[in-house]
Each structure stands twice: as C-alpha cells, then as structure tokens.
Amino acid sequence: MKKQPYILPNISMKRDGEQLIIKLQNENNGPYQLLIGDVPELEKIQKVIAESSSGDFTVKIPRKNLPKYYIIKNTASHFVTNIFAERVIPLENAINIRDMGGYSAKDGRFLKWGVLFRGDQLSKLNDSDQKILTNYNLQTIVDYRSPHERQYHPNKYLPTVLQILNCDPQSSFSEAAANVVDLKGENEKLVQSLENGEVPERYINDRGDNVIESYEDLVTSPIAQKSYGRMLKAVVRREALPLLHHCRGGKDRTGFGSMLILLLLNIKEEDIVRDYMLTKIIRKERNQLKYDLYHKLVQKKSYLDYLMAMIDTRESYIKAAINKIYELFGTPENYFQQHFKLTMAEINKARDFYLEKGNENGR
C-alpha cells in the first residue's frame, strides 16, 4: 500500500493496487459524496462514485485509467472540497513524477491541477508507465540534465510531447554526475573526491553548506539564468501544456525550478517549501539504499555525513535560495523582472491562467 505524501491539508490518500482509499479530515457530520471527473474543472466533476457518512471512501480506480480528479461534497450542507487528485503519479519505474496542483496562492486562489508537473528522469519507464503518462497529455518536457546524463540515460518516448527543452543549469548537481555512466560509478567518484582531498575541509560535515551555496549560486548564475529563464518563458507563454520539468532524481535542479514556478505564481512560501520537502518522503527508501552503499565505501563518519547531506532534502536548502532572492532583489517580482526579463503583465497573465478560485473552507 502506497500513501500519497500530501494531497491537500484536509485530504489523505492511499493506493492499494487498483483500490484508492481517500479520507476527508472534517469535523462536520455527513453524508458525503465522492465525485469524479476526467478533467480538473469543477463543472466537469459531476459523477458520484461513492457515498459515506464519515468522509472515508474506498473506490476502484485502475492506474491505466488515470488521470482522475475528485471533489467531496457534504449533501447536508454547502461544504465542498477543492479539486484534488493523486499527486505522485503511481508509476513503476519513476518514483517522483507529480502534479504541482492544489497549492495556495497568497491572494486566496489555488494552483490548477493537471497543467504543471515535476519529476525524476523518464529513462526507465516501462510500457505501463508510458501509457499512463501518455494519458496526462504532456506536451512540453523541460530536461535539466547534463548532455552526459541525457546521452547515457535517454528519456523514453511519449507520443503526446510536442517540444523538449534541454535546460542544463550546469550546477554542481550536474557536475556530480559528469563522466560516470551509472550510480555505482558516481558514488565511487564522490568517495574518491573526498579521499583525494578535492573537497574543501569546511564542507566535510553534516551541515550541507556546499548544497546551500549551490542553491544560492543558482539564484544569480548566468548559465542558470539562461536555462531557468527558458523554462519560465515556456511557463509564462503557455507554449504547450501540460508541462513536465525534471532532472535525474527530481530533487535539486527540479526543486529549484519548482520553487521558481511557485514563486512566480505567488504561491505561499509554506507550500513552496512543502512541495520541495515531499521529495524527502518519496526518496526515503532510495536514500537508505544509498547510505548503505556509502557505508560500504567509506568508514569515516565525517565523510558519511557529507555524502548524506548531498542526497538529503532539507528546508534549509530551498529556503537559502528563497532568502537570497529577497536579499538581492527585495521581492520575487523584482527578481523575475530584473533577472529573467519578464514583464509584470506577463507575470499577472500567468497567475490569472494557472490560478483559480477555490473554497478556502474546503481545502
């Protein structure tokens, strides 16, 4: 059984094979209805598929039929939840592809579902995964990986994709994967860099200072400016939606890109950080496997601390980037106008397109 790390504040969800278990956290008594639709628009989510006095539902939703979108209604009152869906798409060979919908903007609106997605690489998708992602009608892929990564781990084909934007920010996260073909080779290279004295002593601890500095550097790096600027223009101009942006693991380069998108769309900082931190939950088992491998390669605790800080997902990392933006530019709007040359008219049009009214009491 796989639990979704986060849906909405008042909605939790688990998938058990083809069964979906949905729970509403609400103090009001029922009866409740669960409604379903194929499109994330309120007027098109009209089919009642289950009823409950408690707000708990178990329904059969085969993965092959995704995407599906839901609302819950209290038939005895005017209570209606906001639209919700499975945030992490339940694929077999990609663990971190997820919908960015449902987050709260500072003006009370909510980010639409089904238009913006973030993820890890698409190189290991099997036939079932490809069919499911094809159902999401993804039209733009933004790939932050280096040419080396793309060469050795090419994404699988998705027939709906109209454009692929290669936007390598050439960060230290890209460099860590350079000149290695597989994960084992990368891990050995990282350990070798420690043992050869290539890593400054001040970084060899559990603080993650090198990661923090890398995130801060992305804020003003000219190469990152060009790469993320290309992505932001695709978002703002709505060239071909839905859009999926991804790197390899979906943590750092994609985490920074997601922060930019959400900041551009005026999403509350708590939801920006929440979106970033979901990767920590999603990659928990994967990181434990990495730790076990690191432990076989090195015995020195400070080396292990450094290596784990590199793969960890911490609030301090993404907050360092957000704080740097405020420090250097004063406001996100100034940042996007001055650094990425977007106009306020473009920013407002993007917000009006991607954000929608919701029910604050229903989230």
In the block, which residue shows the tokens 């090198």?
210
CATH 3.90.190.10 residue ranges for the chain? 98-358
Distances (CA, A) of 63 to 33, 68, 91, 92, 133: 22, 10, 8, 11, 10
Identify residue 130 by its one-letter amino acid code.
Q
* H or E segment to which residue 122 belongs: none
Distances (CA, A) of 82 to 11, 109, 112: 10, 11, 10
The band of 172, judged by pLDDT with boundaries at 50, 70 and 90, is: confident
Q: Tens digits of per-residue pLDDT, 183-221?
A: 667 777 788 888 888 889 999 999 999 999 999 999 999
In the block, which residue shows the tokens 């919701």?
358
The band of 363, judged by pLDDT with boundaries at 50, 70 and 90, is: low
Distances (CA, A) of 319 to 232, 262, 263, 276: 20, 13, 12, 10
HSE-CB at 231 with a 13 A cutoff on CA atoms is 31
Going by the DSSP 8-state scheme, the letter that residue 102 receives in this structure is T
Closest CA to 258 of 147, 129, 91, 120: 120
CATH 2.60.40 residue ranges for the chain? 2-74
Residue 179 has pLDDT above 60, yes or no: no
Q: Alpha-carbon distance 208 to 67, whole Å?
A: 37
Fold of 98-358: Protein-Tyrosine Phosphatase; Chain A (3.90.190)
The band of 297, judged by pLDDT with boundaries at 50, 70 and 90, is: confident
Looking at residue 129, what is its pLDDT?
Answer: 99
Identify residue 9 by its one-letter amino acid code.
P
- What average pLDDT does the segment 332-344 reach? 99
Residues 6+ apart with CB under 8 A from 277: 313, 315, 318
Q: Tens digits of per-residue pLDDT, 10-56?
A: 999 999 999 999 999 987 788 999 999 999 999 999 999 999 999 99
| Cis-peptide, bond into residue 242, ω within 30° of zero | yes
Looking at residue 70, what is its pLDDT?
Answer: 99
Closest CA to 172 of 120, 127, 128, 209: 209
The band of 362, judged by pLDDT with boundaries at 50, 70 and 90, is: low
In the block, which residue shows the tokens 């539902």?
57
Distances (CA, A) of 143 to 105, 154, 227, 297: 26, 11, 10, 31
Q: Tens digits of per-residue pLDDT, 275-287?
A: 999 999 999 998 8
Say if residue 359 is exposed, middle or buried (CB neighbours under 10 Å; 0-12, 13-18, 19+): middle
Going by the DSSP 8-state scheme, the letter that residue 7 receives in this structure is S
Looking at residue 180, what is its pLDDT?
Answer: 47
The band of 242, judged by pLDDT with boundaries at 50, 70 and 90, is: very high
Looking at residue 176, what is its pLDDT?
Answer: 63
Task: Express as a percent the part of the chain with pLDDT over 90.
Answer: 81
Looking at residue 361, what is its pLDDT?
Answer: 61
Residues 6+ apart with CB under 8 A from 136: 66, 67, 89, 114, 117, 160, 242
More confident residue, 79 or 27: 79
Residue 93 has pLDDT above 60, yes or no: yes
The band of 174, judged by pLDDT with boundaries at 50, 70 and 90, is: low
- What average pLDDT does the segment 160-187 reach? 77
Fold of 2-74: Immunoglobulin-like (2.60.40)
Looking at residue 198, what is its pLDDT?
Answer: 87
What's the mean per-residue pLDDT of the chain? 94
Angle, CA 149 vertex, CA 217 and CA 241 arms, to 5°: 80
Looking at residue 360, what is its pLDDT?
Answer: 59
Residue 177 has pLDDT above 80, yes or no: no
In the block, which residue shows the tokens 């709505």?
238
Residue 239 has pLDDT above 80, yes or no: yes
The band of 6, judged by pLDDT with boundaries at 50, 70 and 90, is: very high
Q: Alpha-carbon distance 208 to 202, whole Å?
A: 10
Q: Tens digits of per-residue pLDDT, 97-145?
A: 999 999 999 999 999 999 999 999 999 999 999 999 999 999 999 999 9
